[in-house]
């Protein structure tokens, strides 16, 4: 895929994992990238990698659960990069626990980052996309949206993002704005490695257990997800909106 030359992409949670790899992929396709994460210092490695590959990027600090911070981050992106054409809402955290052990703090943090944060980003972005009558939004959902033990907060947030994508696709379609969700399965990242540690397993043993249930016989890579996002924000997907695409090595929906 290519053809993103002149576009500006705002990618949250882009300091590492899927977000960082997506930032690199969209930069390779020609987009200028706002690498957005909680601390600007954390964005530097991704920004450097993009620049060393010949792309253009800035680092932007933003707590997506704070509406004012999101508005400021979007405005900085527009001012420094010249516009806003693409949003990838990827920022996320986990606080897994069984329902009777899950605290209000665990619930609120996960919902605020994933669900409220994506709402803030979408609302700020559409203010620039609607007048231009063009834009692409992608929300990062998960196979956990289908239900997963110990993830009441995370599963609820990820299911909510699917509803958000479908609703905004309906609302914003008349402005030529495409809104979709990508739902990864198990992807080899720092977050899934932390999950293995939390359940008391080595990462390799944990992955082996997961792989036994995946039809394609391997875990996902961040690149697998980034490639689908790259398609959805390209003109090749101009007639694709309101969809949830599972990137899970097998049928999951």
CB 137 within 8 A of CB 229: no
DSSP-derived letter for residue 39 is S
Beta strands in the chain, from DSSP E residues, in sequence order: 8-12, 32-37, 57-61, 86-89, 135-140, 177-184, 244-247
Per DSSP, what are the bridge partners of residue 177? Answer: 135
CB 225 within 8 A of CB 18: yes
CA torsion sign for 232, 237, 243, 249 is negative
**Listed residue (116, 122, 88, 108) closest to 17, CA to CA:** 88
- How many angstroms separate the Cα of 132 from the Cα of each of 12, 26, 136, 137, 174? 22, 21, 12, 14, 12
CB 8 within 8 A of CB 34: yes
First-residue to last-residue Cα distance in the chain: 26
**Listed residue (43, 41, 4) closest to 20, CA to CA:** 43
206 in active site: no
Neighbouring residues of 186: CB distance < 8 A, sequence distance ≥ 6: 143, 192, 207, 210, 214, 219, 220, 248, 249
What are the catalytic residues?
Answer: 154
């Amino acid at each position: 895929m290519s053809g993103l030359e002149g576009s500006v992409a705002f990618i949250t949670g882009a300091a590492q994992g899927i977000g960082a790899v997506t930032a690199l992929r969209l930069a390779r396709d020609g987009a200028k990238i706002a690498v957005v994460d909680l601390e600007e210092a954390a964005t530097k490695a991704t920004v450097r990698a993009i620049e060393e590959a010949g792309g253009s990027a800035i680092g932007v600090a933003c707590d997506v659960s704070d509406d004012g911070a999101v508005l400021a981050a979007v405005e900085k992106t527009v001012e420094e990069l010249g516009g806003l054409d693409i949003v990838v809402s990827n920022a996320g955290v986990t606080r897994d626990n069984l329902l009777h052990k899950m605290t209000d703090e665990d619930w609120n943090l996960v919902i605020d980052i994933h669900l409220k944060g994506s709402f803030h980003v979408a609302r700020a972005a559409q203010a620039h996309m609607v007048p231009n009558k063009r834009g692409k939004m992608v929300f990062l959902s998960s196979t956990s949206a289908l239900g997963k033990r110990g993830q009441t907060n995370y599963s609820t947030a990820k299911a909510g993002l699917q509803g958000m994508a479908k609703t905004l696709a309906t609302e914003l379609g008349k402005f030529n704005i495409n809104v979709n969700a990508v739902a990864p399965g198990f992807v080899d990242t720092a977050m899934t490695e932390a999950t293995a540690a939390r359940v008391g397993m080595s990462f390799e043993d944990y992955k082996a257990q997961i792989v036994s249930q995946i039809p394609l016989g391997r875990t996902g890579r961040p690149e697998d997800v980034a490639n689908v996002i790259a398609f959805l924000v390209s003109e090749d997907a101009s007639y694709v909106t309101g969809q949830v695409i599972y990137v899970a090595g097998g049928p999951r929906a």
